[in-house]
A and B are shown apart, each in its own frame.
Chain A
């Protein structure tokens, strides 16, 4: 399998649930990202990991908790979300070092009821 793979593709959860989004990249990249995409809004950067170390945390609420166990895997742990958190969550990777294009997964469409 190649590229960036995200699971699940769709997720519906209640406000009291705990769930996790998974991302795996098969490109040998060193940097991985979580973005949030809402209708008619620009992509919002949430977190960046470089060589498994978090290098960006864009003032994201604590109900979103990232985890990067190695350079190929990235998780986003979700708990007590709000309806306004419903969005498409995209994972991306890049070789690392800046000045680079991003390789995106297909995203997880999250609905919070």
Chain B
């Protein structure tokens, strides 16, 4: 069964304290792995897509990496405005063209 697991469930960091969020997946035929950011009261906002092991993408303080079993979202020197829930999703070959499997997310709180 295709599955996505995110850890930790919640994370509190001091401003400037770098860390990583994990997304582990079990799918048959990965089409793409997606990272989204969701602020309270809003819908998820796209951050990155990764397609193959070894691929990396960067945007400001965020860097996403992908292996054959998991993806990491590295946050370097975070600021309070990085506080949000970060969602990981995979699109698997077995789950249909339009079906994305989401994780439960990591709630990040960055303290000033």
Contact = CB atoms under 8 A, between A and B. Distances in A.
Interface of A: 4, 6, 31, 33, 40-43, 45, 48, 50, 55-56, 90-92, 94, 97-99, 101-107, 109
Q: Nearest 8 pairs between A and B by C-beta? A: A104-B43, A98-B97, A42-B102, A43-B102, A101-B46, A48-B98, A104-B44, A106-B42
Contact of B43 (A41, A94, A106): A106
Given A43-B100, A99-B51, A104-B44, 7 more contacts: A42-B102, A43-B87, A48-B99, A55-B97, A97-B97, A98-B97, A102-B36
Contact of A101 (B34, B41, B103): B34
Contact of B96 (A56, A91, A102, A109): A56
Chain B contact surface mostly: strand
B67 interface: no
A42 B101 CA distance: 8
Contacts, number: 61
A97 B32 CA distance: 13
A99 to B, nearest CB: 5
Nearest to B42: A106
B98 A98 contact: yes
Chain A contact surface mostly: strand
B98 A33 contact: yes
A40 B42 contact: no
A2 to B, nearest CB: 14
B65 interface: no
Nearest to A50: B98
Contacts of B45: 104
A45 B100 CA distance: 8
Interface string B42-79: 11111001010000000000000000000000000000
